[in-house]
Amino acid sequence: MRPTVIVAGASGLIGVTALRHFAQDVGWRVIGLSRRPPAIDIPRARHLSVDLCDPAAIAAAMPALREATHLVHAAVEENMADVEAGWTSHDQMRRNRDMLANLVDALSDGAPGLRHISVMHGQKAYGGWADRANALTLCREELPRHPHDNFYWLQEDYIRARQPGQRWHYTFWRPSLVLGGDTVTGNLNALLTLAVWAASCRAAGEPLDFPTGARNAIVTAIDTDLIGDALLWAAESPAARDQTFNIGNGDVFAWRDVWPVLAEAFGVAPGRERDFTLAGEMARLAPVWAQLVAEQGLAAPADPIAFLGGSISLTDLCLASELREALSTIRLRKAGFAGCASTVEVMRKWIGRYQELRLLPVFG
């Protein structure tokens, strides 16, 4: 019998990527769980509308989930109005813990063939955002748990306490800044935010200025396609069992490395360094974006704030950070997954993909 993977958070940036990658392998049956369906149609992937905060809703879906052999948990609740404020909310932490626990409890009791669980976390585990003065330069999985409140720790403690007596193993993933993804609504997509702003600058006849706050940061990023490959690898690899892995493209970049890519993609002239926020810029250039959408018949919403949602808050947070923090991916490579990518090439790829999807304009 073919293995069956359940992807929780199927409408999200990583969730839709997991759906697509598993569905492209005919050896898998694929079921996505989320309140909203994915923004794109994924052949061979079934979608069930389920609220993971509601144990009764999960119980009602269990007849369709009894053959589950694998779970990819990419569901997360974020505060779209203020991403960083949400990270310190104990109510939000509890809800994220409960979403995972509700589903894993149901699958552990009702899907006897369950054998592997991948849980998506992130670079926030290392605490640099909460303690910038003492932030690490190289983040390694074997370091002691950083002493800040985080729903990651609640989920880790739950999984480790739930595992005894079960047949399944787990993998915790700590991706760096995520680039790309075939879905955008309600997600945290920094690259798309920067691209919408750069396209608006071009349409307004303005240069592409550089934010002062982004001058010194060092960043690690990850292509969503690489995450999909890694999830497929971990699903059946003994080396991934009961492990925590950082995952990144394999290189690092400064924000200044991004601006030439944006300038090239939209034919916009480089500008000067100044203080600004993308929240302010997108509000100011909103009429320009609306006109671009109308003139080019884009599939994107005419209101850039509605289009990008919490992506704007996340991107401003990233650009204002002085963190020089990089993820080590040595443990993952030693375990047998050697995938890597050029971050600059990944940015070009996804800008082109968003143009193909008519989410971004093309200038002659």
pLDDT band at 320 (very low <50, low <70, confident <90, very high): confident
pLDDT surpassing 80 at residue 135: no
Task: Determine which of 83-92, 133-142, 247-256 has the lowest per-residue pLDDT on average.
Answer: 83-92
What's the whole-number mean pLDDT along residues 202-229?
94
Question: Is the domain of 208 the same as that of 147?
Answer: no
Q: What is the pLDDT of residue 173?
A: 98
Contact partners, residue 158, CB within 8 Å, separation at least 6: 97, 100, 101, 104
Domain enclosing residue 296, as ranges: 182-220+252-325+340-356
Percent of the chain whose predicted confidence (pLDDT) is above 70:
96
Confidence of residue 148 (pLDDT cuts 50, 70, 90): confident
pLDDT tens figures, 280-303: 999 999 999 999 999 999 999 999
Q: In the structure encoding, which two tokens stand for residue 269, read together? A: 């002239």
Say yes or no: 154 and 210 in one domain: no
Is residue 335 in some structural domain? no
- The domain boundary, picked from 232, 247, 262, lies at 247
Is residue 32 domain-shared with residue 56, that is, in the same domain? yes
Average pLDDT, the chain: 93
Number of domains in the chain: 2
pLDDT by residue (tens digit) across 2-57?
Answer: 999 999 999 988 999 999 999 999 999 999 999 988 878 899 999 999 999 999 99
Cα angle 215, 219, 224 (rounded to 5 degrees) comes to: 135
- pLDDT class for 324, splitting at 50, 70, 90? confident
Tell me, what's the pLDDT at 187? 67
Tell me: pLDDT of 81 over 70: no
pLDDT level of residue 237 (50, 70, 90 thresholds):
very high
Query: How many angstroms separate the CA atoms of 138 and 263, rounded?
Result: 30
Q: Judge if 275 and 155 occupy the same domain.
A: no
**Residue 315's pLDDT band (boundaries 50, 70, 90)?**
very high
Instruction: Name residue 221's beta-bridge partners.
Output: 177
Of 10, 65, 81, the residue nearest 40 (C-alpha): 10
pLDDT of residue 317: 86
Residue 120's H or E segment, with its range, is strand 116-120
Same domain? 310 vs 194: yes
Instruction: Tell me if 257 is assigned to some domain.
Output: yes
Whether 8 and 147 map to the same domain: the answer is yes
Q: Is 147 contained in some domain? A: yes
* Residue type at position 104: V
The answer to whether position 332 is within a domain reads: no
Q: In the block, which residue shows the tokens 């690899």?
A: 237
Is the domain of 28 the same as that of 154? Answer: yes
Alpha-helical runs (H) found in 147-285: 151-162, 190-204, 224-236, 259-266, 278-284
Q: What is the pLDDT of residue 184?
A: 64
Residue 153 lies in a domain: yes
Q: Which two tokens stand for residue 168?
A: 């399944």
Residue 197, CA atoms < 13 Å, CB-side half-sphere: 28
Q: Are residues 106 and 206 in the same domain?
A: no
194 lies in the same domain as 115: no
For residue range 333-362, what is the model confidence (pLDDT) as tens digits? 999 999 999 999 999 999 999 999 999 999
Residue 148, domain member (yes or no): yes
Q: Are residues 143 and 41 in the same domain?
A: yes
Q: Is residue 301 part of a domain?
A: yes
Residue type at 361 in one-letter notation:
P
- 155-207: pLDDT as tens digits: 999 999 999 999 999 999 999 999 998 766 556 899 999 999 999 999 999 99
Domain shared by 125 and 241, yes or no: yes
- Judge if 61 and 122 occupy the same domain: yes
For residues 238 and 87, the model is more confident at 238
148-182 b/e with 16+ CB inside 10 Å = b? bebbbbbbbebbeebbeeeebbbbbbbbbbbbbbb
Domain containing residue 84: CATH number = 3.40.50.720
Q: What is the C-alpha separation between 277 and 285, in angstroms, rounded?
A: 12
Whether 363 is covered by a domain: the verdict is no
